[in-house]
Structure 1
Amino acid sequence: MRIFVFTGLIVLFSITVHAQIYKWVDESGKTQYTDVPPPPGVAKEGKKLNIKSSPISGDHEPNKSRNPGEERLEFDKRQQQKKEQDVKQQAKAEENKKKCIDAQGQLRLYTDSPRLTVPDGAGGIVFVDDDARQRKTADANKAIATFCK
């Protein structure tokens, strides 16, 4: 007898799990929530809400069953990727710092020296004129703006 009562309760509860909930506004302006559709003349905008009566148990992806070992491996993999990304970011920050220092040195060189000489590429040296000095100063300022953040 207990089995029949228990089975009946399970069937009764499983019916309410799949019940649909409706939201509608009555004549007095009150919002009504029911499990039956609203009366035909009362509701101007009845909405059928997609509300589950019981929470979904288990994973978010029902077709994919994972055990704790697989989840741990995935977690370790994500942690390793994050560490690698952090190392790359630190290396890039150090490289940018070096480029910033170089650009500041170049700017100082082009603004502070009265007669600047540079190699001409053929083994000789040439004096830097004002136009070249301005171009080099502008390039150094752009590099500073880019790398010195």
Structure 2
Amino acid sequence: MLKQVLLLLIVSGCGAVAIAQTQPQQTIYKWIDDQGKLQYSELAPPPGVAYETVRKPTGATPGESALSNQQTKEREELARQEAERKEQAEKTQQEAQDQRTKNCEIAKKNVQVLQGDSQIVKTDATGKKVVIDPQQREVELKKAQKDADYFCNP
């Protein structure tokens, strides 16, 4: 009888060890990479990088569930921030393109006017209106053509 109890204890102990070894070790590492982005990985970060262990080996304790929820919230917040940055970058790019288009139209009109036969009146530094001479007209035309080339050609 003692042999049977001893055998039962040995077998159950070996079974417990076998079960413990078959459960995967799920350690999640959290760190900030060299570009300032928050990273999560099952692989350890590069040597010399400070990190934090987010999830310990499986055994599902109540604290781990809270960490998973926190991790999910952090990821959602990062995704939201990234979407906002992307939206702002697209908006800025569109505004720059709109301004470039407007400048192109202005430059084309200036070239057209300067190539015409009508008199060109310009305001000088003192605020007086002055008719420009042919030499000044040529200088202004070159500037306008340069502006048109810059703003109208991508």
Flag whether TM exceeds 0.5 (same fold).
yes
Aligned equivalents of 2:77 and 2:53: distance in 1? 16
1:7 partner amino acid: V
Q: Relative to structure 1, is the Cα distance of residues 147 and 2 closer, same or farther in structure 2, using a 3 angstrom cutoff?
A: farther
Corresponding residue number in structure 2 for 1:83: 87
Residue 111 (structure 1) aligned to one of 112, 115, 137:
115
- Which consecutive residues of structure 2, in runs of 5 or more, have no partner in the other structure? 1-10, 29-39, 46-50, 55-69
Corresponding residue number in structure 2 for 1:74: 78
- Which consecutive residues of structure 1, in runs of 5 or more, have no partner in the other structure? 14-55
Q: Does 1:93 align with 2:97?
A: yes
Deviations 1:26-56 (A, max 9, x none): xxxxxxxxxxxxxxxxxxxxxxxxxxxxxx8
**Equivalence map 1:36-75=2 (5 Å):** 58=28, 59-60=40-41, 63=52, 65=54, 67-75=71-79
Q: How many residues align?
A: 107
Query: As a proportion of its length, which structure holds more helix?
Result: 2
TM-score between the two structures when normalised by the length of structure 1: 0.56
TM-score between the two structures when normalised by the length of structure 2: 0.55
Contact 2:27 2:53 in 1 (8 A): no
Aligned equivalents of 1:81 and 1:144: distance in 2? 32
Identity %: 15
Residue 138 (structure 2) aligned to one of 134, 140, 145:
134
Q: Relative to structure 1, is the Cα distance of residues 128 and 80 closer, same or farther in structure 2, using a 3 angstrom cutoff?
A: same
1:130 partner amino acid: P
Contact 2:114 2:140 in 1 (8 A): yes
